[in-house]
Structures are given as C-alpha cells and as structure tokens.
Amino acid sequence: ATHSRYVIDLNRPPDGASLYPGRSVTALCPVDDFDGERIYLQAADEPAEAEIAARREAVWQPYHAKLAEELARIRAAHGVAMLWDAHSIRSVLPRFFEGRLPDLNLGTADGASCAPALAGELLDIAREAPGFSAVLNGRFKGGHITRAHGCPAEGVHAVQLEMTQCSYMQEALPFDYLPERAARIQPTLERLLRATLDFAGRHIDRS
C-alpha cells in the first residue's frame, strides 16, 4: 500500500458496497473517520464520482491486481498460497459495535476464505493467549481483501486478524507504543503465523 486509507480504502469493494449490510461502515473513499468526524473541511472538497473513479484506477486496481498476481505465482509454484491480512482498531468504537471488542478477531468470511481446519487451529491458539480474548467471524469477518482473494478450493487461504490497539499501544493521544504490553501478545502472534506456515507446509505440492 502506498496511500492512506483516507485516500482510498483497499479493503473495501470497488463499487463501495457495504461488507456489513445494516451496520455503519466507512466508504471506499472515506469522508469521515471512525468517530464520525468529517475528514474534509468543506463538503465541496469531498471526492465526487469522477475523483473516486480516478483513485480506484490509480491506486485500488493496481494493488489488487498485484496481490492476485503474487498469490497466483505462489500457488503455481507450491500448490498453496497463504494470505495473512492484519489490522488493528480501537477496542471501543460505538459507531461500529457495542461494548468492548475482543482482542483477537479472526475473520474467514464465515469459512469461505480458508480451510475450516486452519481457522479452527488459529482460533484455539488465539483463545489460549493469557489475558486476551478471541473470536472467529464475530463483528469482523474479513474485509474485501480476505473475501476477494481467499479461495481454499483453489489452494489460496486468506485470514484476517483485527487486533485491538490496546493490546500493544495507547488508544488515545499520544498513541505511544507499549513494549511491555506488546511483549505479552507477541508470542501468540508468532504462534498464529507459525501455524499458518505449518498448514501451508502440509499442503505443498511436492510433485
């Protein structure tokens, strides 16, 4: 990625369709932030359809084309490809969910983007994280990247991790990184990634 998600959100469908119908979401080219605050000083400055189309062509399409190309290359070489799509978000965001978000939110598009066996293994690891909570396909089931590029039937397995920012940093100004807190979650993140790689190793085409 080369641009801020406030320019264009690579994790949204190209037509701007909602990934979570009936819930509040931000747009392909956002005009407000997660707190509902306007990004642009004047409504006239907000991107019109022509500007959105230009951003999509210049930024969104090349990103997804390159990602698809790389996954296809890996799949052709090894018979399997893994996509780990990681994000973080504030643990409390009334606009998007009630109460406090679990710390580790794994998303597989309700099982459509990766093998169930891998999803189950990852959830078990996440639930074992001491002092942290975890869920699979809860409030966040995976964005457009996971949903568009994950295809387990073709050997491409995609998983999204949405992690609470309080797991490793301050969620308010000055947004400091918290090394001691981060050190508590890092072993679990390493286990999640290792399990993903081990899964790939078991499914490599060695012919």
For the four alpha carbons of 52, 53, 56 and 57, in that order, the dihedral sign comes to negative
Dihedral sign computed on CA atoms, order 3, 7, 12, 14: negative
Tell me 60's DSSP state: I
Structural contact between residues 31 and 8, judged by C-beta atoms closer than 8 angstroms: no
Domain that holds residue 126: 80-202
Helix (H, G, I), strand (E, B) or coil at 159: strand
Q: Distance between CA 116 and CA 122 in Å, rounded? A: 10
Q: How much is the pLDDT for 175?
A: 97
State which amino acid sits at residue 143: G
Residue 29 lies in a domain: no
Single out the residue of 204, 125, 190 nearest to residue 157, CA to CA.
204
Instruction: Count how many domains the chain has.
Output: 1
Q: Quick check: is 21 in a domain?
A: no
Kindly state whether residue 151 falls inside one of the protein's structural domains.
yes
Q: What is the pLDDT of residue 34?
A: 94
Q: Is residue 57 part of a domain?
A: no
For residue 132, is it within any domain?
A: yes
**pTM for the model:** 0.95
Q: What is residue 205's predicted lDDT score, i.e. its pLDDT? A: 84
User: Would you give the end-to-end CA distance of the chain in angstroms?
Assistant: 35
Distance (Å, whole) CA 187 – CA 195: 12
Question: pLDDT averaged over consecutive 10-residue blocks of the chain (207 residues)?
Answer: 93 95 92 95 96 98 98 97 98 95 98 98 98 97 98 98 98 97 98 98 87
The answer to the question of residue 34 being in a domain is no
Q: What is the CATH number of the domain that holds 124?
A: 3.40.630.40
Q: What is the tens place of the pLDDT at every residue in 47-63? A: 999 999 999 999 999 99
Residue 117 forms part of a structural domain: yes
- Residue 58 maps to a domain: no
